[in-house]
């Protein structure tokens, strides 16, 4: 097992757990409307109801995609090193996808 595999795996796994930790308070509705933490899009600031709906949806999506990051991180320990960086770069889309999903959800409400 090469060093790049281990480093990439640790990075993806840690990132996945950090995203879950950051998303969990939003999912549980513990974060009041603010300009620093949460999905800060115009629609979320229209009402408290929107704030909690949008942030709960976004946090749920972010946590789901974080699980993908952790699984891929573990898989990086077992794939050939020539593919690890390709897989890792593609995985960073798993951060953008839940953001886009949340914006689309916000447009529906």
- Whether 37 and 98 have beta carbons less than 8 Å apart is answered as no
- How large is the angle between the packed helices 81-91 and 48-76, nearest 10 degrees? 180
Q: What is the DSSP string of 3-54?
A: HHHHHHHHHHHHHHHHHHHHHHHHHTT-S-S-SSSS---GGGGS-HHHHHHH
User: Residue ranges per domain, the chain?
Assistant: 3-108
Please give the model's pTM, rounded to 2 decimal places.
0.87
Residue 30: predicted pLDDT:
97
Residue 2: predicted pLDDT:
77
Query: Which of 69, 70, 55 lies closest to 23 in space, CA to CA?
Result: 55
Local confidence pLDDT in tens for the 109 residues of the chain? 678 789 989 999 999 999 999 999 999 999 999 999 999 999 999 999 999 999 999 999 999 999 999 999 999 888 887 787 788 777 878 889 999 999 999 999 9
């Amino acid at each position: 097992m090469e060093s790049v595999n281990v480093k990439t795996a640790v990075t993806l796994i840690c990132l996945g757990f950090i995203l879950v930790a950051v998303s969990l308070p939003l999912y549980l509705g513990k974060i009041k409307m603010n300009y620093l933490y949460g999905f800060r899009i115009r629609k979320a600031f229209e009402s408290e109801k929107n704030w909690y709906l949008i942030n709960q949806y976004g946090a749920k999506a972010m946590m789901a995609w974080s699980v993908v990051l952790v699984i891929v991180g573990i898989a990086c320990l077992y794939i050939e090193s020539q593919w690890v960086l390709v897989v890792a770069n593609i995985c960073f889309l798993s951060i953008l996808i839940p953001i886009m999903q949340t914006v689309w959800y916000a447009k529906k409400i």
